[in-house]
């Protein structure tokens, strides 16, 4: 939904000294014992009772029913030269670290967004991205798909987080989105002619099958993790349509063919029914937003096994902001008022139709850190609480093709664990009150406060 700002080259390694360095992982002999009042098992779709998790280094070593005596683990860690940490998460529900399948970590909504792009350098966006990444992690999201930036600055952000330079979630980034001239991916859309230029495949703008192959290959060279395309109009660009088809079937097929050759999945921003139809037929892995999805689209998505990432919070937020005079340009406000009232009902209908759903929010369209509001909106749309937790864990991990690493708490898996007070299956709004965050065996939030 968001494609603003023509950034320059990503310089995200110019990072603020005020942000503490992130430990890349716990040392192999460090041990943490977590006592959880309850544990969400998204694989089984069950809420387990009192459970103890034993973390060694950055991996889960043991999962034991009930409370266990931490002393033997402390003695073993000390004997091996490691550190020991015990956390009694009384009355808290533990679960796997959450995954947001649709974020934009180098951007954030603002009434000055459309003019900031002419004053800010890429370093301004890159530095801000470190703050947005930290907020996202503290909200309980230990992994994200970043499905669009301006100049590959989230590749640099991903690398900085992986190197332990700044705190943030695991990032799987698409870099620049791919679309057509004047479409939702064209960052120069709405510029006056002497500034607009003629962006090409290196900028993610294609107008032929050959361009599509070149753009994907450039993305591979740049070091992305997946591909994002824009086969329909969008809300926040300065074009006139939110839902018109903007890529031909042949162009989308070419992107998908090239992307799959390189081992990439393809996420397709698509509000309009025709854009969704073309994207699904072309073999994309996921449809993002899907506001005007019709019955034919849902049937095709089920047949092709295509994932759906609803981003309800984004639709609701743009509708709210569109009612504020001057927040958006007039044509953007008009599209926001068109999309906002529809997107939640579409998500509910898709769930009832049996379409595969992964959690995603379009973070940046609303302020970063509020991602968990999406859970509430999904439940309001008719999805059960356990289902929406699965959407942000096992489903999202499968969409990432990381189901053997992320999305569940299991022996040998990464120690990505969060906790909320109380039982979120009784009150899904508790997901907005994350009290504990561990990523890769390192604690970032404890008792509701950041510790890293």
Give me the tens of pLDDT residue by residue for the chain, a chain 452 residues long: 444 433 333 333 333 333 446 677 888 889 999 999 999 999 999 999 999 999 999 999 999 999 999 999 999 999 999 999 999 999 999 999 999 999 999 999 999 999 999 999 999 999 999 999 999 999 999 999 999 999 999 999 999 999 999 999 999 999 999 999 999 999 998 899 999 999 999 999 999 999 999 999 999 999 999 999 999 999 999 999 999 999 999 999 999 999 999 999 999 999 999 999 999 999 999 999 999 999 999 999 999 999 999 999 999 999 999 999 999 999 999 999 999 999 999 999 999 999 999 999 999 999 999 999 999 999 999 999 999 999 999 999 999 999 999 999 999 999 999 999 999 999 999 999 999 999 999 999 999 999 99
Q: Is residue 67 part of a domain?
A: yes
Query: Could you tell me if residue 327 is inside a domain?
Result: yes
In a domain, 12, yes or no: no
Q: Are 61 and 116 in a shared domain?
A: no
Joined tokens for residue 138: 């503290």
Phi-psi group of 118: left, alpha or beta (phi > 0 → left; psi -120 to 50 → alpha; rest → beta): alpha
318 and 188, same domain (yes or no): yes
Question: Does the pTM of the predicted model rise above 0.75?
Answer: yes
Q: Is the CB of residue 123 less than 8 Å from the CB of residue 11?
A: yes
- Report the CATH number at residue 429: 2.30.40.10
Residue 20 belongs to a domain: no
- Looking at residue 22, what is its pLDDT? 67
Position 28 scores a pLDDT of 85
Q: How many CA atoms lie within 13 A of 36 on its CB side?
A: 29
Same domain, 319 and 427: no
Distance CA 105, CA 33 (A): 32
Q: How far is CA 433 from the centre of its chain?
A: 19
Query: What's the rounded Cα separation, in Å, for the pair 234 and 314?
Result: 12
Residues 104 and 88 in one domain: no
Within-domain flag for 16:
no
Sole residue written with tokens 């003019």: 115
Q: Are residues 281 and 291 in the same domain?
A: yes
pLDDT at residue number 21: 62
Asked if the structure places residue 348 within a domain, the reply is: yes
Assess whether 90 and 102 both reside in one domain. no
Same domain? 343 vs 197: yes
Question: Do the domain assignments include residue 158?
Answer: yes
Contact by Cβ (8 Å): 255, 248? no
276/367 same-domain check:
yes
Q: Could you tell me if 339 and 227 lie in one domain?
A: yes
CATH of the domain at 183: 3.20.20.140
Whole-number pLDDT of residue 244: 97
Strand order of the β-sheet with 307-309 is 227-229, 266-270, 286-289, 307-309, 356-357
Same domain, 430 and 382: no
Q: At what angle do helices 273-282 and 295-304 cross, to 10 degrees?
A: 20
Domain with 105 in it: 98-399
**296 in the same domain as 379:** yes
- Is residue 22 in a domain? no
What is the model's pLDDT at position 98? 99
Q: How many domains does the chain have?
A: 2
Both 243 and 186 in one domain: the answer is yes
């Amino acid at each position: 939904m968001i494609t603003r700002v023509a950034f320059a080259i990503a310089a995200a390694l110019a990072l603020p000294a005020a942000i503490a360095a992130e430990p890349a992982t716990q040392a192999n002999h460090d041990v943490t014992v977590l006592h959880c009042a309850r544990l969400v098992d998204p694989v089984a779709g069950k809420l387990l009772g009192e459970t103890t998790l034993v973390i060694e280094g950055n991996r889960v070593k043991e999962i034991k029913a009930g409370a266990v005596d931490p002393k033997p683990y402390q003695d073993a860690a000390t004997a091996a030269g490691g550190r020991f940490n015990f956390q009694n998460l009384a009355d808290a529900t533990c679960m796997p670290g959450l995954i947001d399948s649709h974020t934009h970590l180098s951007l954030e909504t603002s009434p000055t967004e459309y003019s900031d792009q002419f004053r800010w350098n890429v370093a301004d966006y890159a530095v801000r991205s470190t703050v947005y990444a930290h907020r996202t992690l503290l909200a309980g999201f230990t992994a994200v798909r970043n499905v669009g930036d301006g100049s590959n600055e989230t590749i640099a952000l991903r690398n900085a987080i992986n190197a332990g330079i700044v705190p943030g979630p695991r990032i799987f980034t698409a870099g620049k989105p791919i679309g057509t001239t004047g479409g939702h991916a064209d960052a120069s859309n709405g510029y006056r002619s002497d500034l607009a230029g003629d962006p090409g495949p290196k900028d993610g703008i294609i107008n032929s099958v050959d361009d599509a192959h070149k753009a994907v290959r450039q993305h591979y060279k740049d070091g992305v993790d997946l591909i994002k395309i824009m086969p329909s109009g969008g809300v926040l660009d300065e074009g006139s349509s939110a839902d018109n088809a903007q890529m031909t079937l042949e162009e989308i097929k070419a992107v998908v063919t090239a992307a799959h050759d390189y081992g990439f999945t393809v996420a397709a921003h698509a509000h309009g029914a025709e854009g969704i139809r073309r994207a699904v037929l072309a073999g994309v892995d996921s449809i993002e937003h899907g506001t005007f999805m019709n019955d034919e689209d849902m049937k095709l998505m089920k047949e092709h096994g295509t994932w759906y990432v609803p981003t309800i919070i984004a639709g609701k937020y743009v509708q709210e902001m569109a009612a504020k005079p001057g927040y958006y340009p007039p044509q953007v406000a008009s599209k926001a008022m068109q999309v906002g009232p529809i997107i939640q009902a579409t998500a509910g209908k898709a769930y009832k139709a049996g379409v595969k759903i992964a959690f995603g929010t379009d973070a940046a369209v609303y302020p970063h850190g509020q991602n968990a509001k999406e859970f509430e909106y999904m439940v309001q749309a008719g999805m059960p609480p356990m289902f929406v937790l699965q959407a942000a864990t096992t489903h999202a991990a499968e969409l990432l093709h990381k189901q053997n690493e992320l999305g569940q708490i299991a022996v040998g898996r990464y120690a990505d664990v969060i906790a909320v007070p109380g039982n979120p299956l009784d009150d899904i709004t508790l997901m907005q009150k994350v009290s504990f965050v561990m990523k890769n065996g390192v604690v970032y939030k404890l008792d509701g406060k950041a510790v890293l």
